[in-house]
Amino acid sequence: MWLKDSSIGRKFIMSITGLFLVLFLLFHGSMNLCLVIDDVFGTQGYNWICAMLGANWYALAGTMVLALGVVVHFVYAIILTIQNRAARGNDRYAIEARQEGVDWASKNMLALGIIVVLGLCLHLYNFWYKMQYAELTGVETSMFDPQDGSAIVTDLFTNGWCGIVYCLVYIVWLCALWFHLSHGVWSALQTMGWSNLIWLKRIKVIGTIFATVAVGLFMIVVFYFLGVNIGQMCA
């Protein structure tokens, strides 16, 4: 079957799973933005979303689909990287030295992807493990109610110097994610057929916009709580 046996098919699968994950990032980032809105205006939008999702069947189904998408995307990325290096053989370093039109993110997608996955594992431990997993299993994974996501996030990012370190780690992770997405989105659109001379520059701009919006939604939350934490420490 060409989807799994050919290079183009594997790139197509990577493109579909990657774009699907980008759409989830836009939703998740918008959801996280409610944290800042809640803290400024005293509302409870974020906790309402946590309660609506929680350990309900549709949230669990969505989690499994997302997990499958991440695994497929990462596995195919490794397979394609290995195949590309094998195809280049001993000449790959000379070839890379002559690629003047290739951006830095394009040549380091696997390294960026590994950083993204490591950050994702940390993120899952900090939040999914303490929220959905705790609610699903009944295991006490933190001092807070699993549905009080606002308290869990606030405690992580505003806990003195530990909170500052976490904010900086998340900023590094999100920067790697931005580079990964800025190349990945336009590369996925190109693989799906938007590769003519007219659209090539346009989809690069689209990729940069998508990456900036998706990562920016997360960055706003991190920088907001970093400012709150520093303000509390200086008070």
Tens of pLDDT, residue by residue over 133-143, are 999 999 999 99
Confidence of residue 95 (pLDDT cuts 50, 70, 90): very low
Sequence-ordered list of residues with C-beta below 8 angstroms from that of 169, at least 6 positions apart, any chain: 119, 122
Distance, in Å, from the CA atom of 151 to the CA atom of 162, rounded to the nearest integer, reads 16
170-199: b (≥16 Cβ within 10 Å) or e: beebbebbbbbbbbbbbbbbbbeeeeeeee
DSSP string spanning 85-146? HHHHGGGHHHHHHT-TTS-HHHHTHHHHHHHHHHHHHHHIIIIITTTHHHHHH----SSS-T
Neighbours of 57 (CB within 10 A): 7
Cβ–Cβ < 8 Å for 9, 2: yes
Give the number of C-alpha atoms closer than 13 A to the C-alpha of residue 233, restricted to the C-beta side.
14
How much is the CA Rg of the chain, to the nearest whole Å?
Answer: 20
| Mean pLDDT along residues 60-70 | 92
Angle between helix 7-41 and 160-191 (nearest 10): 140
Q: 220: burial class by Cβ within 10 Å (0-12, 13-18, 19+)?
A: middle
Sequence-ordered list of residues with C-beta below 8 angstroms from that of 17, at least 6 positions apart, any chain: 69, 70, 72, 73, 76
The two tokens of residue 38 are 């809640």
What is the per-residue pLDDT across 164-211, written as a single tens digit (0 to 9) for each?
999 999 999 999 999 999 888 888 878 777 666 777 788 888 889 999
Q: Is the pLDDT of residue 92 over 70?
A: no
CATH number 1.20.1300.10 given to 2-234: yes
Domain regions of the chain by residue span:
2-234
Distance, in Å, from the CA atom of 187 to the CA atom of 18, rounded to the nearest integer, reads 10
For the whole model, what pTM was predicted?
Answer: 0.87
| Mean pLDDT along residues 99-118 | 76
Distance, in Å, from the CA atom of 216 to the CA atom of 61, rounded to the nearest integer, reads 27
Of residues 225 and 87, which shows the higher confidence score? Answer: 225
